[in-house]
Structure 1
Amino acid sequence: MRRWPKVALGNVCTPVERFVTPTAGTTYRQLGVRLWGEGAYEREIIDGADTKYSKFNRIEANDLVVNKIWARNGSVAVATEELAGTHVSGEFPTFSLDRDRADPRWMRLITKWRGFWTLCDEKAQGTSGKNRIKPTQFLSIRVPLPPLPEQQAIVNRLDTLADKARQVNEHLDAIERDADRLLAVSFRKAIADATLRPMAAVAPSVRRSVTIDIDKRYREVGARSFGKGLFVKPDFDGADATWQKPVWINAGDVVLSNIKAWEGAIAVAGAEHDGCIASHRYITCVPDPSVLTAGFLAYFLLSAEGLEQIGFASPGTADRNRTLSLTNLGKIEVALPQIATQNTFNTLQAKVAALKARHATIRQANDALIPATLERVFSGAN
C-alpha cells in the first residue's frame, strides 16, 4: 500500500464562528456528537430562553465538529447535509474544511479511526477525567492525507463495502422476521383448543433461599429485558455480598425479575446457570413437567398476550415501582396443549434460536469489517 504523508489538521481546517445570540421565543435546532466516531445527530429543539449559553454557533454541512470534553473518546464528526442549520455551544469547536485538499467523506473516515481517537486523547488536557482538548491542540493533530482523487477512490470503495454489509444485515433481519412469524403462527395453532390453567397450579413459584457463607464464592445471574435471556455476573466472595435473601437458580427454572418482568426480563435457566444465585428481586417458577415445559411457558410470557398479563400483574405507574405480585402471577392462565405438541414447538424455538445465533456471529463480523479495513487503510501512512 502507498505510504501517505501526515498533515496537521490546521493545514486543512479553519475555525468558523457563525455566532447567534439565543433569543427568548425563538427555537433552535441543536447538534450533538456521538462517541467513538458514530457521527453527529440532531438533538432536541430548544427555546432561546431555556439555554445557559450566551451564544450558539450555527453548523453548516461538512463542518468538522469537536466535542472538547469527549474528543478523547472519539466525539468528533463531520456534519451531514441534514444537520445544516443546527447549533452548538462553545463546548463544540467547529471547523470548515479545505475542500481542495480534504474530502469531507475522507475526514469522516478519519473520525471513525481508532488511531485518531488515540491522537485526540494524547492532546487532551486536565486531570479531572473530563480532559478538554483545546482547538489549537486539536489542529496540531497530524492525519493521513493522500491526494484528493485517491481519497475519493478509497471512500467510494469503502462506501460500497459498507453498503454490502448493510444489505447482508437487512437480509438477516428479514429472515429472522419470517422465523418469528413462523413461531407465532405455530404457537397460536398449538394453543387453539388447549385447556387453560393458572400458573400457580402448573408452574408455581419456588423460592430456594441461600444462606451466604462468607468463605465461599458465588456466581450471580440477572435477566435482561426484552427477552434477551439471562447473563452471568463475575464471581464474588460471600463476604462481599451486598444484598440479603438471595435465591438459588436451577436449570429449567423460568426466571422473572419482579421489577422488570413487565419489560420482558423473563428467561429459562440453562445448564450454565445451574447453581447460580440471584437477588431477592427474582422469582423462580418451576413448571410441572407432566403438563408444561419451561420453553413453552417462557414463550407465552414473552408474547404480546403474556406481557400484557404480566403488566396487569405488576401494579404501579413508576418504572422502578412496577413490582410483579406473586399472587397476581399465580392467577395468570396458561394454555396447556399436549406435551408432545409443546416439545415440537420447543424444537422449532431451538432451531430459530440457533439461526439467530449464527446471524449474530455474521453481524459481529460485519460490524468489525469497516473498522478493520480502516486500520489497514491508515496503516499505509508515513
Structure 2
Amino acid sequence: MPSFPLIPLGELLTYAPDPHGVEPDRDYPIAGVYGFGRGMIQRAAVTGREMAATQLFRIRAGQFIYSRLKSFEGAYAIVSPEVDGYFVSNEFPTFDLHHEQLEPGFLGWYFRQNRVWRQLASGGKGIGARRERLHPRRLLDHAIPLPPIEQQRRIIAKLDGAALQLKTLRWTADTARAELNATMEAAFRKVIAGAPRVAIGDVAPILRRPVELESNGVYAELGVRSFGKGLFKKPDVIGGELTWQKPFRIHCGDIVFSNIKAWEGAFAVAKPEHHGKVGSHRYLTCVVDTRNATPNFLWYFLQSDAGLAQVQAASPGSADRNRTLSQRKLAAIEIPLPSMDAQFWFDDLQQKASDVQAGQRGVAGELDHLIPALMHQVFE
C-alpha cells in the first residue's frame, strides 16, 4: 500500500490497561490470544483463590491486544464480543483505538500478516530475539500504511467477505468428507457381515528383511505418520554413520507398523514409490498373502474402531513412549476375511473415495492461499 502515508501506531492507539486487584471469592473469566492471527481464546472462569496473580486486567470488545511472549508467532487480535469483560494478565497489553482514524477490522487484518510479525520480532537482539517479549513502545513505534477511513471499510468488507466464503466452503467440504466416511463404514460393515475371522499372522505374517550395510552406502529411510496418514520420506542415512540402528528393507504392499506408535494408527501400506527403501528397527513389516487378502483391505480394518482397539490391546504400557507393539500379539489380531471378490470391490471403493479426498485436498490447498493472496494485494 505504498500510496498511503505510514502512520506510527502510537498516533492511532492509546495504551489502556484496566487493572483489578484479585479477590479470593470472585470468579474471573480468563481470555488469551491465539497465535498466527487466529483471534481470541475464551477460557473458563477461575476463582481468585485458585490463581497466584494478585492483579488482572479487564479487556473490552474492540480493543487491540497482543501477547508479549508470543508476538513473534502472530498472537495479535481485536478483542471479540465473546470475551468482552474478560480478564488477562500483564503479559497482554491492551490498547484503545482512535476510531476516527482507524477501523478495528482494518488493524485486525493488518496484523494477520506474518511479515508484520517478523518486522516486529526483528527489533529484538541476538539469536533469541523471537523469544523476547515485545514491549508496547516497540509496537507503538511501528508505522502502518493508513488509507482513508472509508477505504479501510471497503478493504474490511472485501476480506471479511472472502473469509466468510472460505468458511462456508470448508464447512461444505467437511460435511462431504464426513458423509463419504460414513458411506465407506456402512459398505465395510456390509462386506464383512458373516465373514470368517482369522489371525492376521495367518494371512500377513511379520517378515523383516535385514539390510547388509555398506559404510559408504546411502539408504533412503521411511517413517510412518500417526492416525493413518501414511508413510513419509526421512533424510537419507549413511551406512557408516549408523551405530545401534538396524534398518530393514520395505517392499511395495507391506503393511508397515511403528512399534511405538501403532496404538495411535501409525501404520500404512507401502506404495510403489516406497519399494526398496528402508525402515529402522522400530518398524515391523507384515507381508500380505495376496491369495487370501489385500493389503488395503486389512489396513482399512485395522484403522477402524474395532481393528484399532485390537492394535491398542497389542501395545501394552501406560506412557506413550512405552506402548510398544508386541509382535506376538500383533500376529494374533483377529481380522474379518470375506471373499477376494468382496475385498477387491471394497478396495475399488476405497480408491474412488481416496481420489475424491485428494481432489478436496487440492481445493483446500488452493483455498489456503486465497486469503494470503488477497492480503498481499491489499497491504503490499
Partner of 1:237: 238
Provide Cα deviations, 1:334-365, integer angstroms capped at 9, x if missing partner: 11112122112111111111111111111111
Partner of 2:219: 218
- Counterpart residue type for residue 337 of structure 2: L
Are 1:123 and 2:123 counterparts? yes
| 3-state SS of 2:208 partner | coil
Partner of 2:307: 306
What displacement does 1:26 show? 4.1
- Counterpart residue type for residue 358 of structure 2: A
Q: How many residues were matched structurally? A: 379
Separation in structure 2 between the aligned mates of residue 20 and residue 125 of structure 1, nearest angstrom: 33
TM-score where L is the length of structure 1:
0.92
Separation in structure 2 between the aligned mates of residue 215 and residue 251 of structure 1, nearest angstrom: 25
| 3-state SS of 2:336 partner | strand
Separation in structure 2 between the aligned mates of residue 341 and residue 183 of structure 1, nearest angstrom: 14
Contact 1:243 1:279 in 2 (8 A): no
Contact 1:8 1:142 in 2 (8 A): yes
RMSD after superposition: 2.1
- Counterpart residue type for residue 360 of structure 1: R
| 3-state SS of 1:317 partner | coil
| Correspondence 1:28-107 to 2 at 5 A | 28-43=28-43, 45-49=45-49, 51-107=51-107
- Counterpart residue type for residue 157 of structure 2: N
Q: Percent identity of the aligned residues?
A: 37
What displacement does 1:72 show? 2.8
Contact 1:250 1:273 in 2 (8 A): yes
Residue ranges of structure 1 left out of the alignment (5+ in a row): none
Partner of 1:209: 210
What displacement does 1:126 show? 5.2
| Correspondence 1:254-265 to 2 at 5 A | 254-265=255-266
| 3-state SS of 1:68 partner | coil
Separation in structure 2 between the aligned mates of residue 221 and residue 50 of structure 1, nearest angstrom: 47
Provide Cα deviations, 1:122-158, integer angstroms capped at 9, x if missing partner: 3334543413322111101111221222211221122
- 1:323/1:144 Cα in 2 relative to 1: closer, same or farther (>3 Å)? same
What displacement does 1:237 show? 2.3
Residue ranges of structure 2 left out of the alignment (5+ in a row): none
What displacement does 1:49 show? 4.5
TM-score where L is the length of structure 2:
0.93
| Correspondence 1:1-382 to 2 at 5 A | 3-43=3-43, 45-49=45-49, 51-125=51-125, 127-129=127-129, 130-241=131-242, 243-379=244-380
Separation in structure 1 between the aligned mates of residue 371 and residue 353 of structure 2, nearest angstrom: 28
What displacement does 1:274 show? 1.4
- Counterpart residue type for residue 300 of structure 1: F
- 1:113/1:239 Cα in 2 relative to 1: closer, same or farther (>3 Å)? same
Provide Cα deviations, 1:163-199, integer angstroms capped at 9, x if missing partner: 1122222222222222212211221121113221111
What displacement does 1:111 show? 1.0
